[in-house]
Amino acid sequence: MAWSARQALMLKEMGLRVDVRAEVQAVVGAQAEAQSSQAATPRSTRPEATPRPTAAPSAAAEKSAPTLVQTPVQIHAPRRVGVDAIAAMDWSELRSAIASCTACKLSQGRTHTVFGVGHPNAHWMVVGEAPGEQEDAQGEPFVGKSGQLLDNMLRALGLSRDFSQGDAQGDAQADPSKCVYIANSVKCRPPGNRNPAPDELAECEPFLIRQVALVKPKIILAMGRFAVQSLLRSSDPIGKLRGRVHQYEGVPLIVTYHPAYLLRNLEEKARAWDDLCLAAQTYAELAAVVTSS
């Protein structure tokens, strides 16, 4: 079966040869037909930016002599929202809790918290690792080159992160089977793009757990080893975990490489495409079961 012009273009953008993947196109096409009875015309909305907290001047500072120059000092005072409280939050409460969270030291260097983006009831959920410099600046996950690559990968499957949050008309038009919700394992940028520390992952985990519970995805793509550590509690390398269907709270989970890694290791793109095809096949099989029951 031949690739459609759009799919071929997307694969070209991923740097893949299309002639060796023809067998998968049938799966993707069947999934799209099974899931779509209405055309979605989503519009993109970026999440609210969360201002970086600034320290209020103390009374002592206000009384000090005018010749003194007071340097604002941001004191890390851990603020912990109880796990049970997080587990009961709605979207609005969760967004506010993350915006004001200082439970770990990553709060000290952030510009914005990076909450998440996409359809709140998307059938597909992508879980990444931690915000980088551009994500921290914009308050949205997967922006810049890795975000473009992720968008191209998703588009090749007929999926999009675009969703007009808060717009009733857009909400009604959006088809959740064609939408993704994207979240990171930690919501604040580690300084210098270092890896998130185990305690930082642990502190942020209840937020991710709640996001998954609210979205109720039909399938999850875990991108990168820290997403895998959070969701599967496994420290095995990606190469050992990919290529099979895992389960997270009863939801099929596919492990694949993070787009930032793929940009540095172009030879792994074909494996990432295999992972996406496995996810598409798994989703199509689930949809077929639901349709026939």
Where on the chain is the footprint of ligand SF4 (CB under 6 A)? 98, 101-104, 106-107, 113, 186-188, 200, 203-204
Q: Which is nearer to ligand SF4, 110 or 178 (CB)?
A: 110
Residue spans of beta strands (DSSP E) within the chain: 117-118, 124-128, 180-184, 219-223, 245-248, 251-256
* Minimum distance from residue 138 beta carbon to ligand SF4 (Å): 16
Q: Which is nearer to ligand SF4, 61 or 83 (CB)?
A: 83
* Minimum distance from residue 246 beta carbon to ligand SF4 (Å): 24
Q: Which is nearer to ligand SF4, 129 or 200 (CB)?
A: 200
Of how many residues is the chain composed? Answer: 293
Q: Which is nearer to ligand SF4, 178 or 187 (CB)?
A: 187
* Minimum distance from residue 126 beta carbon to ligand SF4 (Å): 18
Dist CA 130 CA 260 (whole Å): 11
Dihedral of CA atoms 220, 187, 193, 137 in degrees, nearest 10, equals: 110
Dist CA 287 CA 221 (whole Å): 17
* Minimum distance from residue 219 beta carbon to ligand SF4 (Å): 25
Q: Which is nearer to ligand SF4, 165 or 211 (CB)?
A: 211
Q: Which is nearer to ligand SF4, 86 or 156 (CB)?
A: 86
Q: Which is nearer to ligand SF4, 54 or 293 (CB)?
A: 54
* Minimum distance from residue 258 beta carbon to ligand SF4 (Å): 18
Strand partners, 220: 125, 253
* Minimum distance from residue 200 beta carbon to ligand SF4 (Å): 6
Instruction: Say if strands 251-256 and 219-223 run parallel, antiparallel, or are unpaired.
Output: parallel
Q: Which is nearer to ligand SF4, 164 or 185 (CB)?
A: 185
Q: Which amino acid is at 122?
A: A
Dist CA 280 CA 59 (whole Å): 59
- Strand, coil or helix: 36: coil
Q: Which amino acid is at 188?
A: C
* Minimum distance from residue 70 beta carbon to ligand SF4 (Å): 26
* Token pair for 9: 């273009």
User: Cα 224 to chain center, whole Å?
Assistant: 11
CB 188 within 8 A of CB 107: yes
* Minimum distance from residue 212 beta carbon to ligand SF4 (Å): 15
The angle, 0 to 180 degrees and rounded to 10, between the axes of the packed helices 22-35 and 269-292 is 40
Residues 6+ apart with CB under 8 A from 42: 119, 160, 162, 163, 164, 170, 173, 174, 179
